[in-house]
């Protein structure tokens, strides 16, 4: 049997590029044709947690204990398999006054999602609404997506819902399919969470930043409406008024597949060099 060059090329590509770039989703019959997402305006958040509760209620997710973490008005601490919305509280003490930053965090439904790239079974897809969706019946629980996500969104179910599979926000795919607003956005009493076609949301968000800046809040800016450093745009993006780290968001989210080919090549070369060295040393002794 002879191996043709294209087959060799494909095999080499598979070996050196474990995280191939996003494959553009093929439109399916019935697709809405618009990518739906979230604009979360943290300046409007009052920390009521209605979004977190509505998400758990609609998606039948169990409570994550009732213990306060001790470092914030919080008992969930972070996003995970059973917490798909998480309201963060950050108290800032200044020289003259203190203030609270509050932000309802969620899966960013990244336009080029490392979790989707890294899934070996094809369980993670872009659904009809352009949102990143985990198909639980195909997930084998390997956890690659958990480590690939630069925002710490995904978790594997343990305890009450112990199926060992990865879980995260579906952007209420079931509600969207019935022309309903996602539960968290529906429950938010201040419109801090806004849902809609991302192009419209981005325009609205830019208008809101301008409005805030005209009113004297020069700190207002958008995180993820456009690319964040090397990382592509997020379809769930945020209006912030401090450094991303203050909200526990990465300033430059890493794309794990970037530079992968170089790293594989370096490992291969090191292996070859060490083998040659060992052969030379043992060759001399014998």
Contact between 143 and ligand SF4 by CB under 6 A: the answer reads no
Query: Taking a C-beta distance cutoff of 8 angstroms, is the pair 205, 237 a contact?
Result: yes
User: In this complex, which beta carbon is closest to ligand SF4, that of residue 82 or of residue 170?
Assistant: 170
Give me the residue label for tokens 């080919």: 261
User: In this complex, which beta carbon is closest to ligand SF4, that of residue 58 or of residue 237?
Assistant: 58
Six token digits for residue 146: 């958990």
CA angle 156, 174, 222 (to 5 degrees): 75
Measure the CA–CA gap between 27 and 36, rounded to whole angstroms: 15
Contact between 225 and ligand SF4 by CB under 6 A: the answer reads no
Which one, of 173, 53, 161, 167, lies nearest residue 104 by Cα? 53
Measure the CA–CA gap between 230 and 226, rounded to whole angstroms: 11
Query: Taking a C-beta distance cutoff of 8 angstroms, is the pair 133, 124 a contact?
Result: yes
What is the smallest separation between the CB atom of 170 and ligand SF4, expressed in angstroms?
Answer: 5
| Alpha carbon distances (Å) from 143 to 64, 140, 166, 208 | 20, 8, 7, 38
Helix (H) or strand (E) holding 40: strand 36-41
Q: Which of 139, 157, 188, 228 binds ligand SF4 (CB under 6 A)?
A: 188
User: In this complex, which beta carbon is closest to ligand SF4, that of residue 127 or of residue 170?
Assistant: 170
Q: Which of 81, 149, 220, 240 binds ligand SF4 (CB under 6 A)?
A: 149
At a CB cut-off of 8 Å and minimum separation 6, what does 84 contact?
Answer: 55, 56, 59, 61, 106, 107, 167, 168, 169, 170
Q: Which of 127, 170, 194, 255 binds ligand SF4 (CB under 6 A)?
A: 170
Give me the residue label for tokens 């794990």: 256
Task: Pick the piece of the chain touching ligand SF4 (CB under 6 A) from 26-34, 151-159, 237-245, 264-272.
Answer: 151-159
Q: Which of 123, 153, 201, 239 binds ligand SF4 (CB under 6 A)?
A: 153
Contact between 220 and ligand SF4 by CB under 6 A: the answer reads no
Interaction residues for ligand SF4, span 86-105 (CB under 6 A): 87, 104
User: In this complex, which beta carbon is closest to ligand SF4, that of residue 62 or of residue 271?
Assistant: 62
Interaction residues for ligand SF4, span 27-46 (CB under 6 A): 45-46
Q: Which of 92, 121, 190, 217 binds ligand SF4 (CB under 6 A)?
A: 190
User: In this complex, which beta carbon is closest to ligand SF4, that of residue 60 or of residue 96?
Assistant: 60
Which residues are near ligand SF4 by CB under 6 A?
Answer: 45-51, 54-55, 58-59, 84-85, 87, 104, 106-110, 113-115, 132, 149, 151, 153-154, 168-172, 182-184, 187-188, 190, 192-193
């Amino acid at each position: 049997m002879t191996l043709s060059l294209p087959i060799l090329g494909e095999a080499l590509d598979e070996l050196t590029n474990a995280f191939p770039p996003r494959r553009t989703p093929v439109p399916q019959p019935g697709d809405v044709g618009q990518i739906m997402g979230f604009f979360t305006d943290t300046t409007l958040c009052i920390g009521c947690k209605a979004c977190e509760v509505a998400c758990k209620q609609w998606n039948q997710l169990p409570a994550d204990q009732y213990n306060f973490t001790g470092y914030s008005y919080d008992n969930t601490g972070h996003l995970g398999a059973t917490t798909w919305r998480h309201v963060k509280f950050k108290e800032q003490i200044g020289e003259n006054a203190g203030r609270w930053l509050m932000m309802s965090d969620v899966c960013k439904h990244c336009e080029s999602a490392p979790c989707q790239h890294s899934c070996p079974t094809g369980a993670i897809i872009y659904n009809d609404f352009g949102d990143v969706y985990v198909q639980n019946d195909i997930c084998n629980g390997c956890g690659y997506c958990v480590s690939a996500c630069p925002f710490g969104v995904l978790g594997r179910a343990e305890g009450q819902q112990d199926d060992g599979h990865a879980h995260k926000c579906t952007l209420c795919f079931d509600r969207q399919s019935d022309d309903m607003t996602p539960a968290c956005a529906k429950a938010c009493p201040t419109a801090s969470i806004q849902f809609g076609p991302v192009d419209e949301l981005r325009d609205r968000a830019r208008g809101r930043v301008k409005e805030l800046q005209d009113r004297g809040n020069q700190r207002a800016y958008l995180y993820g409406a456009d690319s964040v450093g090397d990382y592509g745009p997020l379809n769930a993006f945020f209006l912030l008024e401090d450094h991303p780290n203050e909200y526990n968001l990465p300033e430059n989210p890493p794309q794990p597949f970037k530079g992968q080919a170089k790293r594989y090549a370096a490992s291969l070369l090191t292996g070859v060099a060490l083998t040659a060295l060992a052969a030379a040393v043992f060759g001399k002794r014998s």
